[in-house]
């Protein structure tokens, strides 16, 4: 006769973690090292990995101790989520792949499963229930980790894009007193201020009386971008520089009129060529054929 | 602090120093207008190269001085605005209106000459 | 370089306050345009103190951290206060002959702006913050 042990207390992951913490940590670390597709050796040192693993276990223990521990709402605002986000952000910055970051979290599943099976023994009903809960919990942890990772990545990309934007807006001294400023890339609000300041400083440094602002390379012209342009033009005027905006495509022209964007009394030209001719006119020079 | 206003032929040149008190700014305005009248100057160049900060008060003084001088029959040119100052004024919504601006003193004198000769 | 307090008693203090804040901003590494914006806002707000209250105080604090450069300035006076703050925050409003208290203008130069005003006490708090590059 098989004995059906009657459990006196409800089994929870939290209990298991609390009572077998050291073992779980060690076995998890082993598992991480032996999981294929998970090779963190070049990007994170042993100490950091150990501390991340310990942190997760530490934060997981209290929030997986209560009855409904796989309750997603409870999970959202917990310390565990905060810890996962931090770890994930760290991985993103270290350029550890998103898959590996999530694999790290998922690898805990098998480890805990084994301990769970041990604790449940022959009680299959409870074991099935707990396995379900465990799955849900770990899956949710994985999702949180992935989400945090992508958010960090987006921030990093935005920062890099800003750098690229700065590098790709060189001011070209077209002629004595004429400056050509090609605007390239998406002029997002974050960088717009810096771009405008850079343009004005260039105008001041080169003592240019005419600045040709070429927007051929700006894919999106909306009200925000137009406002940046208007600001730049107004400031340039006070510096003593006339601004000619060139590179407005037929599409952009349509958008601007539809959005009711009025650049005011700003000189605009469809092509750079026309803009350059206009610029020369303004400084009192003319291009003549010999 | 009295701001020296130089006479160069039929034009005046006033260079505003950094960190003027409000009182000095108003004195500057009065002095400029008096000198315009006294010398029957054809024009004034206001040089603000030294100004690192121009708040709405100072912007007002500069703008008003220019407009007042024009009423007295003098042309006015502003030179030397700092790019950072320019952006700040635009962002605050206090751009200078109706005053001819140029980058530096040399351009200022040339522009003033042109304006005076046009009359 | 954590905190500077300037008593605003007369016109000269407007200059002292803005020089102090420009100095701090520069030392912290804020770029020139931001130094100018902040100094201009301080100039506007301390001038308000002189104009509407007679005297007050301007406290400037560096509260930067590892990721963000941050300066907080609190300009406080114990004057009559602004009766209608909402109105004062819209352009073109003015109780005296000038162009108004310059509040909306100052607001556009900083990242955070808060004003509390009641008879006997007006407190404007501004924050300039930029991510460290």
Looking up residue A52, the CATH number of its domain turns out to be: 1.10.490
Averaged over A276-282, what is the pLDDT? Answer: 92
Give the distance from residue A156's alpha carbon to the nearest chain B alpha carbon, in angstroms: 28
Two tokens, residue A19: 């009572």
Angstrom distance (rounded) from CA A45 to CA A43:
7
Angstrom distance (rounded) from CA C106 to CA A200:
21
Q: Is A176 inside a domain boundary? A: yes
Among A165, A186, A201, the domain-final residue is A165
Two tokens, residue A276: 């350059």
Q: What percentage of chain B reaches a pLDDT higher than 90?
A: 89
Residue indicated by tokens 């927007």: A215
Same domain flag for A136 and A204: no
pLDDT at A68: 64
Averaged over C125-132, what is the pLDDT? Answer: 91
pLDDT at C93: 47
pLDDT at C88: 79
3-state secondary structure of B34: helix
Q: Is A289 inside a domain boundary? A: no
Q: Which of A127-141, A213-227, A243-257, B44-58 has the lowest mean pLDDT?
A: A213-227
Same domain flag for A139 and A223: no
Structure pTM? 0.69
Same domain flag for A268 and A190: yes
pLDDT tops 60 at residue C97: no
Fold observed for domain C2-131: Heat Shock Protein 90 (3.30.565)
Q: The complex's ipTM?
A: 0.91
Q: Which residues contact C14 (CB under 8 A, 6 or more apart)?
A: B21, B22, C8, C43, C46, C47, C50
pLDDT at A161: 65
Cβ neighbours of A44 (radius 10 Å): 16
Q: Which helix (H) or strand (E) holds C114?
A: strand C112-118
Angstrom distance (rounded) from CA A274 to CA A272:
5
Residue that wins the pLDDT comparison between C13 and A40: C13
CATH number of the domain enclosing A208: 3.30.750.24
Give the distance from residue B9's alpha carbon to the nearest chain A alpha carbon, in angstroms: 24
Q: Is A74 inside a domain boundary? A: yes
C33 CB within 8 Å of a chain A CB? yes
Q: Is A263 inside a domain boundary? A: yes
Same domain flag for A183 and A155: no
Same domain flag for A156 and A230: no
Angstrom distance (rounded) from CA A250 to CA A238:
30
On chain B, the residues whose CB falls within 8 A of the CB of A228 are none
Same domain flag for A115 and A70: yes
Grade residue A287 by pLDDT with cuts at 50, 70 and 90: confident
Q: Is A70 inside a domain boundary? A: yes
Which range is most confident: A38-47, A110-119, B16-25? Answer: B16-25
Averaged over A34-57, what is the pLDDT? Answer: 82
The string of pLDDT tens digits covering residues A124-163 is 888 888 888 888 888 888 888 888 888 888 877 777 666 5
CB contact under 8 A, B91 and C14: no
Same domain flag for A81 and A55: yes
Neighbours of chain B (3+ CB pairs under 8 A): A, C
Averaged over B23-31, what is the pLDDT? Answer: 95
pLDDT tops 60 at residue C22: yes
Angstrom distance (rounded) from CA B32 to CA C48:
27
Same domain flag for A186 and A148: no
Residue indicated by tokens 């905006």: A245
pLDDT tops 60 at residue A2: no
Same domain flag for A224 and A129: no
User: Average model confidence (pLDDT) for chain A?
Assistant: 82
Among A122, A147, A165, the domain-final residue is A165
Q: Is A287 inside a domain boundary? A: no
C32 CB within 8 Å of a chain B CB? yes
Q: Which residues contact C106 (CB under 8 A, 6 or more apart)?
A: B92, C40, C41, C44, C45, C113, C124, C126
Same domain flag for A136 and A238: no
On chain C, the residues whose CB falls within 8 A of the CB of A193 are 33
Averaged over A209-229, what is the pLDDT? Answer: 84
Residue that wins the pLDDT comparison between B80 and C94: B80
CB contact under 8 A, B81 and A200: no
Among A143, A165, A187, the domain-final residue is A165
CB C132 within 8 A of CB C67: yes
Neighbours of chain C (3+ CB pairs under 8 A): A, B
Q: Is A16 inside a domain boundary? A: yes
State how many domains chain A has: 2
pLDDT tops 90 at residue C33: yes
Same domain flag for A24 and A69: yes
- Domain housing A254: 172-282
A205 CB within 8 Å of a chain C CB? no
φ, ψ for residue A210, nearest 5 deg? -130, 135
The string of pLDDT tens digits covering residues C70-89 is 999 999 999 998 877 877 78
pLDDT tops 50 at residue B63: yes
Same domain flag for A159 and A177: no
Sheet hosting strand C68-77, strand order edge to edge: C3-8, C56-62, C68-77, C121-131, C112-118
Helix axes B83-92, A223-239, angle to 10 degrees: 130
pLDDT at C72: 97
- HEC profile of B53-107: CCCHHHHHHHHHHHHHHHHCCCEEEEECCCHHHHHHHHHHCCCCCCCEEECCHHH
pLDDT at A166: 54
Residue that wins the pLDDT comparison between A120 and C43: C43
Residue indicated by tokens 């750098």: A163
On chain A, the residues whose CB falls within 8 A of the CB of C31 are 194, 197
Q: Is A56 inside a domain boundary? A: yes
3-state secondary structure of B118: helix
C105 CB within 8 Å of a chain B CB? yes
CB contact under 8 A, A238 and B96: yes
């Amino acid at each position: 006769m098989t004995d059906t042990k009657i459990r006196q207390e409800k089994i929870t992951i939290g209990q298991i973690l609390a009572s077998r913490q050291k073992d779980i940590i060690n076995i998890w670390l082993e598992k991480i090292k032996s999981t294929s597709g998970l090779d963190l050796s070049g990007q994170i040192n042993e100490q950091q990995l150990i501390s991340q693993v310990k942190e997760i276990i530490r934060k997981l223990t209290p929030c997986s101790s209560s009855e409904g521990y796989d309750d997603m709402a409870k999970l959202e605002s917990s310390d565990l989520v905060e810890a996962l986000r931090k770890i994930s952000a760290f991985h993103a910055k270290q350029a550890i792949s998103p898959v590996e970051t999530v694999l790290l979290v998922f690898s805990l599943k098998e480890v805990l499963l084994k301990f769970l099976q041990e604790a449940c023994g022959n009680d299959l009903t409870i074991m099935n229930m707990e396995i379900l809960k465990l799955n849900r919990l770990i899956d949710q942890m994985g999702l949180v980790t992935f989400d945090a990772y992508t958010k960090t990545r987006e921030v990093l990309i935005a920062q890099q894009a800003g750098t690229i934007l700065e590098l790709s807006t060189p001011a070209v001294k077209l002629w004595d007193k004429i400056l050509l400023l090609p605007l390239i890339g998406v002029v997002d609000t974050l960088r717009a201020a810096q771009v405008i300041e850079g343009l004005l400083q260039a105008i001041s440094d080169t003592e240019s009386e005419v600045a040709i602002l070429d927007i051929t390379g700006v894919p999106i012209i909306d009200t925000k971008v137009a406002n940046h342009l208007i600001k730049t033009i107004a400031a340039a005027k006070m510096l003593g520089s006339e601004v000619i905006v060139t590179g407005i495509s037929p599409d952009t022209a349509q958008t601007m009129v539809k959005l009711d964007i009025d650049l005011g009394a700003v000189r605009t030209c469809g092509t750079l060529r026309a803009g350059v001719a206009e610029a020369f006119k303004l400084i009192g020079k003319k291009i003549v054929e010999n | 602090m009295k701001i020296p206003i130089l006479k160069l032929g039929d034009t005046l040149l006033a260079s505003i120093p950094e960190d003027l008190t409000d009182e000095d700014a108003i004195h500057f305005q009065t002095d400029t207008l008096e000198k315009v009248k006294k010398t029957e100057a054809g024009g004034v160049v206001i040089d603000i190269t030294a100004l690192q900060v121009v708040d709405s008060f100072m912007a007002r003084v500069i703008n008003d001085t220019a407009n007042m001088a024009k009423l007295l029959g003098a042309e006015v040119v502003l030179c030397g605005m700092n790019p950072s100052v320019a952006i700040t004024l635009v962002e605050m919504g206090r751009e200078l209106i109706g005053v001819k601006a140029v980058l530096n003193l040399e351009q200022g004198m040339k522009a003033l000459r042109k304006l005076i000769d046009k009359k | 370089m954590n905190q500077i307090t300037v008593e605003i008693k007369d016109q000269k203090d407007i200059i002292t306050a803005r020089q102090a804040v420009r100095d701090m901003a520069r030392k912290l590494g804020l770029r020139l345009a931001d130094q100018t914006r902040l100094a201009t806002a301080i100039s506007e707000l301390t001038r308000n103190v002189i104009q509407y209250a007679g005297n007050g105080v301007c406290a400037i604090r560096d509260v930067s951290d590892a990721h963000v450069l941050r300066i907080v300035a609190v300009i406080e006076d114990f004057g009559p206060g602004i009766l209608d703050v909402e109105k004062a925050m819209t352009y073109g409003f003015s109780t005296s002959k000038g162009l108004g208290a310059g509040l909306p203008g100052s607001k556009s130069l900083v990242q955070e702006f808060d004003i509390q005003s009641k008879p006997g006490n007006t407190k404007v708090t501004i924050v300039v913050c930029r991510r460290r590059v």
